Amino acid sequence: MAVGIFDSGLGGLTVLEAVQKRLPEVPFVYLADSAHAPYGVRTPEDIHTLTRAAVARLWEEGCDLVILACNTASAAALRRIQEGGLPEGKRVLGVFVPLIEALTERDWGDNSPPREVAVKHVALFATPATVASRAFQRELAFRAIGVDVEAQACAGVVDAIEEGDMILAEALVRSHVEALKRKMPAPDAAVLGCTHYPLMESVFQEALGPGVKVFSQAGLVAESLADYLARHPDMLGVGQEPKFLTTGDAAQVSDRATAFLRRKIAFEAA
């Protein structure tokens, strides 16, 4: 009954924590492609190849359902993986859909034409690859009209978080928010389009100001997954054991993950 969660590094642990709290009875297998992180500066073809390999590895662990808890992978690879054909009984989902559902206040199953929504000016903070893909804008356009999206590529933030340098990460966040506000001085809402960014949510909020509603993904993904599994209980795979897998140095990644979540995390080689 295991569900797979994939991220290029440690950012997806923010999603894992939320889904574990929401679905404590479900074992999750987490795979971090630490050897190739970060994905945000890679080419779309490279991201697709690496993501496809990671998904296949999680299928081997008995995970019929895999969540791409990496916005870059969701933006650059998810559509190709889904359209390329999946083995029978396997599914791969991304993290954009729950975010856009919350932003537009309409269910993904609502296939009525795009309409105006409450928010008009949205600031998107994401990795360079996610910004370049325009995947968020494309998916949003299926649901809403009249929404101005200003994207800011937050170079360096993921690297600083992965290295545990939160002082540098905070400085970079403030710099990127300032750059965004020069282009969009008064956003209604801000989207943290990377699963690393919830760790810096308070910094984003402070820099943006109290009048900006900040949308972060972990809790939204957890609720969406709970709803999906309630409707598709057959997607719980045959895997039984929770695991943490990495393509990088298991001991080093374990130390960083333990510091990241402030609880003991033991990774093993993928």
Q: What is the pLDDT of residues 81-117, one digit of tens each?
A: 999 889 999 999 999 888 888 888 877 667 788 899 9
Strand order in the sheet with 189-193: 148-153, 121-126, 189-193, 213-215
% of the chain residues with pLDDT over 70 = 99
Segment among 104-113, 177-186, 217-226, 243-252 with least mean pLDDT: 104-113
Residues 6+ apart with CB under 8 A from 161: 10, 11, 169, 196, 199, 200
Q: For residue 22, what are its two tokens?
A: 């929401």
Q: Per-residue pLDDT for 145 more than 70?
A: yes
The residues spanned by each domain of the chain are: 3-94+218-269, 97-215
Catalytic residue among 126, 147, 169, 194: 194
Angle at 253 between CA 136 and CA 5, to 5 degrees: 40
- How confident is the model over 218-225, as a mean pLDDT? 92
pLDDT value at residue 179:
98
Distance CA 239, CA 151 (A): 39
Q: Per-residue pLDDT for 134 more than 90?
A: yes
pLDDT value at residue 164:
86
pLDDT value at residue 5:
98
Q: For residue 113, what are its two tokens?
A: 């034409």
19-39 pLDDT, tens digit per residue, is: 999 999 999 999 999 999 999
184 in Cβ contact with 207 (< 8 Å):
no
Catalytic residue among 10, 47, 69, 70: 70
Residue 266 vs residues 95, 105, 190, 250, 251: alpha-carbon distances, Å: 25, 38, 34, 8, 8
70 is catalytic: yes
The letter for the amino acid at 208 is L
- How confident is the model over 245-269, as a mean pLDDT? 94
Domain 97-215, CATH 3.30.70.20 — does that match? no
175-192 pLDDT, tens digit per residue, is: 999 999 999 999 999 999
CATH number of 3-94+218-269: 3.40.50.1860
% of the chain residues with pLDDT over 90 = 80
Distance CA 50, CA 85 (A): 17
Do 3-94+218-269 and 97-215 share a fold? yes
